[in-house]
Chain A
């Protein structure tokens, strides 16, 4: 099946006072209809910037190169005006913090259907009943009354449901959720994950889910891409990547996961800090922290992304052999 959104060799360089920041340094991924792609990685690894830049939402000071295809349309070559018409219409966004991502002075109903008014030329009247329908869809009780309420009258979890309703207003082919549960408490997190999974089933929407919660990835994603220092270090089907992590970083991340069997308290962390986007190393970005560290090549030469099994690729000179059996 052809991808809904495919990103090829995407780079994002942001001009800053201290020089160019290489927030994204060449990234490839694709998400197919109905599928979920998880982008994981430490904070600052370029997850958000890669999806924002792909859809024309990068900051004004950013320079974006590469190719991005939404179905058959190449986005980076389009004028901002044409990109704008596709954004919101074919791609819906859910951002991290529902406390700040809604406009405090507009009713939730208005915010939910704005995109539909813009892209589908819905009348205000039709938009209102559509808003009620959408709020109902995302599980907001007595949607008929709540449609006229303001964001501050909702709890965090309910606001995130509003944001999801908003993202789905034009029945997009793709939903991009950037750490949609990070700002929520644990119980609410689970509800939101379940809601999105359920909506995806019913609507057949493709999802790009950015998270650092590997537990969620295992639960909902079909494919996963592990990002580090603006690049993808390992990607492939979730079963393959999690079952047989080939990159030392993926292995360390999985080991750093709080282990429920050990009472969840024994968190192993990876020593050291990720590289600065202002000063990306010439060689392997993980080199300073890598437990494997094969030879001098690691430090001076960028390892290519190489296949280890079907659809499973890894960027290291020393992949852990994967036979698909070992756990």
Chain B
């Protein structure tokens, strides 16, 4: 397993290298002079020259790339065109907010989707199953920002239980962190839960019709054992991928929700960077998101190998 992980890490590094090329070229694709464009009305020759030299734009392309790569490897992703602060610091600052929102939302979604998906599969056609279908339909068709607004109106406005927006770091005050993350995470999580519930239900139904489930029933095992040990363990294998895709897309940032809840995550950062044409920050954000994607992918592969013995880990 250790060798498998190391090999996959090396593969991820190669992919990440490819991402740096793309991210680097991003800057070249900007029509005109990116620094001039970025500075806009704040243009003054001194800042302009400093930023150009700092970004190495006066060098040949290949030299520029290897320069960028060399610096990136030491953790230097350049400076923001806007604030002049190091991009690495700017991007990493946003990581806790993004991680806490994404992970909380996915955990929330799983807490709903697993019981609901499992019960609606083993009691297909029942009241619970119909309720689950209505819930899923609602979750995937109602826009998340609308749900967010309704959430704010209800829990913050009418009931006054939760703050309407803002972020407090988990390390600073766990209680206040929780009260701030609850609404955005529930909003995003409801959508994820709807998608997951459907998927878990259909995956469970598929496994329920397998011969080995009848074998398990023929042994006289309790329903709970049949469902958890025989059905769920197999149904889980494809579900892992869906959970991972959901998690990855949340890590990439949920821009609308982050803007709505004033959540200082990567989505918000990307949005602001695009608006301000702050290309180094955009590059850094894309690179970080790519790295997170690769990490999630690696976790999925490891989980797959643990769940399915037919996958040989070599």
A residues apposed to B, CB below 8 Å = 55, 57, 84-89, 93, 95, 97, 100-106, 114-115, 118-119, 150, 152, 163, 166
Contact = CB atoms under 8 A, between A and B. Distances in A.
B100 to A, nearest CB: 33
Given A95-B211, A150-B309, A152-B310, A104 B218 contact: no
Contacts of A118: 219-222, 225
Interface string B197-241: 000000000000011101111111110010001100110010000
Given A105-B307, A106-B229, A95 B220 contact: no
A87 B226 CA distance: 14
B49 interface: no
Contacts of B93: none
B308 interface: yes
Nearest to A83: B220
A55 B214 CA distance: 12
6 closest A-B pairs by beta carbon, nearest first, are: A88-B220, A87-B220, A88-B219, A93-B218, A100-B211, A115-B219
A150 B215 contact: no
B308 A104 contact: yes
Interface string B154-172: 0000000000000000000
B215 A115 contact: no
Contacts, number: 75
6 contacts: A87-B217, A95-B214, A100-B211, A114-B216, A115-B219, A118-B220
A53 B307 CA distance: 33
Given A105-B234, A105-B307, A105-B308, A84 B210 contact: no
Given A104-B310, A150-B309, A150-B310, A87 B212 contact: no
B234 A104 contact: yes
Find the residue from B214, B218, B307, B308 having the highest chain A CB count within 10 A: B218
A97 B211 CA distance: 8
B230 to A, nearest CB: 6
A101 B310 contact: no
B contact face: mostly helix, strand, loop, or mixed: helix
A101 B220 contact: no
Interface residues of B, number: 22
A104 B309 contact: yes
Interface string B75-112: 00000000000000000000000000000000000000
A85 B309 contact: no
B211 A88 contact: no
A89 B233 contact: no
A131 to B, nearest CB: 14
A101 B219 CA distance: 12
A103 B215 contact: yes
Contact of B220 (A89, A100, A163): A89
B310 A57 contact: no
A31 to B, nearest CB: 17
Contacts of B217: 57, 87
B222 A105 contact: no
A86 B220 contact: yes
Contacts of B237: 105
B233 A105 contact: yes
Contact of B216 (A86, A89, A103): A103
A32 B282 CA distance: 79
Contacts of B310: 104, 150, 152
Nearest to B218: A93
A89 B221 CA distance: 10
A146 to B, nearest CB: 14
B101 to A, nearest CB: 33
Nearest to B210: A100
Contact of B219 (A97, A100, A114, A150): A114
A101 B309 contact: no
Given A86-B220, A89-B220, A57 B215 contact: no
Nearest to B308: A105
A10 B23 CA distance: 72
Nearest to B309: A150
Contacts of A93: 215, 218-219
